[in-house]
Amino acid sequence: GNSVTQMEGPVTLSEEAFLTINCTYTATGYPSLFWYVQYPGEGLQLLLKATKADDKGSNKGFEATYRKETTSFHLEKGSVQVSDSAVYFCALKVSAGNNRKLIWGLGTSLAVNP
Amino acid sequence: DAGITQSPRHKVTETGTPVTLRCHQTENHRYMYWYRQDPGHGLRLIHYSYGVKDTDKGEVSDGYSVSRSKTEDFLLTLESATSSQTSVYFCAIVDASGNEQFFGPGTRLTVL
């Protein structure tokens, strides 16, 4: 079946540190891959996406590359800020008929200290 | 902003009482979803809708029902609330491209 596995948190970093949050997936067919971010007290919002192999999604200094050979979509940022403190979710989409569900990872909490 | 609102935003109720949560969208999107979010479980899909009167179950649908009589409203009902249904509930829609889900602000439900 389809599933997403992401690294467990919490992750605690100092400001300006390098961030990697690992995400691997299993899927039939050719899924689209997403990273969502949830700031405290808010709903989730799309951070970046990639729809085919070797695509790189990027936004707000975050990047992730769709690696079909390793079934991975790791999230990276070169220099984190306190404002990046949030929960990050990896997800994949497999569309079939009326089903456009996202399959979600469990989320990784990031805390960035000044 | 996908124009999604949820009501109420917070609710405390007692075990055995019925509860209805409302999701309202202003942009005529076809697909709507109800999730619950719990520590250690991430997001879990309860029910979804792919049109007026067209709904289907998600992975944790037991104890929940939904209705969609108008495009803009998707209602989630707990017929008889239990303490295990204490959670944060999120509504989401899929945009016209089918590539992005937009989320509402959430409803925090506490069942005592």
Query: For A3-15, how does the pLDDT look when each residue is reduced to its tens digit (9 = 90+)?
Result: 999 998 899 999 9
- Prior bond to B39 cis, omega within 30? no
d(CA A105, CA B96): 24
Contact A44 B90 (CB under 8 A): yes
- Which residues of chain B are within 8 Å of residue A49 when distances are taken between CB atoms? 99-100
DSSP count for chain A of H helices, then E strands: 0, 12
Is the pLDDT assigned to residue B56 strictly greater than 70?
Answer: yes
DSSP 3-state percent helix, strand, coil across chain B (nearest 5): 5, 60, 40
d(CA A29, CA B2): 29
- Which residues of chain B are within 8 Å of residue A102 when distances are taken between CB atoms? 101
In DSSP terms, B14 is beta-bridged to none
B10-13 and B107-111: which strand pairing?
parallel
Place of tokens 């009902």: B77
Query: For A28-82, how does the pLDDT look when each residue is reduced to its tens digit (9 = 90+)?
Result: 888 999 999 999 988 999 999 999 999 999 999 999 999 999 999 999 999 999 9
Contacts (Cβ under 8 Å, ≥6 apart) of A104: A4, A89, A90, A91, B42, B43, B44
